Structure 1
Amino acid sequence: MTVLTIRDVPDEEVQTLKVRAAQAGQSLQAYVRDLLARETAKPTLAEMMERLDREANADVSAGDVLGVIDEMRAGR
């Protein structure tokens, strides 16, 4: 794992994070690590737009869609 150092964080923000960590029953380190994990788990708007563009340009025919629908109905 990588060690991450963040400099010049205002004291008020650190205090707020400490209070929130305590309220969540976590250490400051665990709380901030969870914040980072949640933030990196969700795609950015640019990433989402790229994904939508890829999917919108997928080479799928109406026959492909109808075939999948038929398969799903048969599997009920």
Structure 2
Amino acid sequence: MVALQIRDVPEDIRDRLAAIAAERGQSLQTYLFDLINDEVRRRDNLAVLEQFSAKRHGTRLTTGDVVGALEHSRSERDRTLDSPIGEAE
């Protein structure tokens, strides 16, 4: 593992960060590590979402295809539920 150092942090900012860490029952180092880790994870999540929005992955179905399939399935279900038991087609 490597060590990171941040220079020229104003004391009031350091004190506020230490207070937040204390409220969470963490050391300042652990709290800052969690912040950095969360930021990296968010960036990874954004990259995944961008891949899906670019339609490089996922379905090729249009919204109309999905709506049509749902309507067809629902009408079949309703037709089956309206039929007496044993007469479903």
Q: TM-score per shorter chain, which class? A: 0.5 to 0.7
Shift of 1:8: 0.8
Q: Which has the higher contact order (CA 8 A, sep 6+)?
A: 1
Report which of the two structures shows the higher radius of gyration computed on alpha carbons. 2
**Residue in 1 that maps onto 2:5:** 5
Deviations 1:20-56 (A, max 9, x none): 0101000000000011111110127x73564122xx1
Alpha-carbon distance between aligned partners in 1 of 2:25 and 2:59, rounded to the nearest angstrom: 49
User: Which runs of 5 or more structure 1 residues have no equivalent in the other structure?
Assistant: 63-76
Structure 1 residues 11, 43: CA separation in 2 closer, same or farther (over 3 Å shift)? same
- The Cα RMSD (Å) is 2.8
- Calculate percent identity across the aligned residue pairs: 34
Q: TM-score, normalised by structure 1?
A: 0.63
Structure 1 residues 58, 37: CA separation in 2 closer, same or farther (over 3 Å shift)? closer
1:43-62, aligned counterparts within 5 Å? 43=43, 47=47, 50-51=50-51, 52-53=53-54, 56-58=55-57, 61-62=60-61
**Residue in 1 that maps onto 2:15:** 15
User: Which runs of 5 or more structure 2 residues have no equivalent in the other structure?
Assistant: 62-89
